[in-house]
């Protein structure tokens, strides 16, 4: 149904995110995509919320393996399926999370941590309707910091404000836009918008 993902190549949007990571600005990529394109583009810190078609995973110890590390055809001929985890010996499965399967606990926990501590969140090319992934920006929005402000009369007061700026890069409005979760919407295709953001960042860094 998804075609041959082996030959699928990253688009300029993927490379733009890898560029931001290389500049030390982007700290992590949280993705629902299972195509492995963020890693192909060069991102190092990728949390694949729904897994990857190119990996196998041990549900017991959460170890992940490249698909080519196991010769499944040979194991089938030797009647040694399912393959076993090299770390703990438990059966391994495809890394992709299917309907009614839980999100792997390690990815769910790390994603929550990243969403909670970030100071800027880019939401790129998503409908924002698939849960629990769509809950992450809403969790981010709940984080508040106290800022000292000065009135015109010279008095100081402390005000709670959102700790994170949330920017959507999407072709269409999403529930995050409508609900006011996002601070800004840059409307357009991620493959066109994200490279422009990278160029703007480079200009600001000069």
Write down the pTM of the prediction: 0.87
The domains located in the chain, with CATH, are 5-49+103-205 (3.40.50.1220), 55-94 (no CATH)
HSE-up of residue 46 (Cα within 13 Å, Cβ side):
21
The per-residue pLDDT for 124 is 97
Cross-strand bridge partners of residue 56: 65, 94
Task: Spot the catalytic one: 14, 50, 98, 109.
Answer: 50
C-alpha to C-alpha distance for 192 and 16, rounded to whole angstroms = 10
pLDDT by 10s per residue, the chain, length 206: 555 677 889 999 999 999 999 999 999 999 999 999 999 999 999 999 999 999 999 999 999 999 999 998 999 999 999 999 999 999 999 999 998 899 999 999 999 999 999 999 999 999 999 999 999 999 999 998 887 787 888 887 777 888 999 999 999 999 999 999 999 999 999 999 999 999 999 999 87
The per-residue pLDDT for 206 is 79
C-alpha to C-alpha distance for 195 and 204, rounded to whole angstroms = 14
Active site residue 50: yes
Cross-strand bridge partners of residue 149: 157
CA angle 178, 169, 2 (to 5 degrees): 105
Residue corresponding to tokens 């995050």: 176
């Amino acid at each position: 149904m998804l075609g041959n993902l082996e030959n699928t190549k990253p688009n300029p949007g993927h490379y733009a995110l890898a560029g931001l990571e290389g500049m030390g600005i982007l700290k992590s990529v949280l993705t629902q995509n299972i195509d492995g394109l963020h890693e192909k583009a060069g991102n190092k810190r990728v949390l694949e919320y729904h897994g990857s078609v190119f990996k196998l995973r041990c549900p017991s110890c959460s170890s992940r393996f490249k698909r080519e590390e196991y010769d499944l055809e040979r194991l089938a001929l030797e009647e040694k399926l399912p393959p076993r985890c090299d770390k703990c010996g438990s059966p391994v499965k495809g890394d992709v999370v299917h309907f009614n399967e839980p999100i792997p606990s390690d990815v769910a926990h790390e994603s929550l941590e990243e969403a909670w501590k970030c100071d800027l969140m880019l939401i790129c090319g998503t409908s924002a309707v698939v849960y629990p992934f769509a809950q992450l920006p809403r969790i981010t929005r709940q984080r508040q910091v106290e800022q000292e402000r000065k009135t015109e009369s010279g008095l100081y007061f402390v005000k709670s404000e959102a700790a994170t700026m949330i920017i959507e890069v999407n072709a269409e409005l999403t529930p995050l836009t409508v609900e006011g979760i996002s601070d800004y919407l840059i409307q357009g295709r991620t493959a066109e918008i994200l490279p422009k953001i990278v160029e703007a960042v480079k200009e600001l860094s000069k």
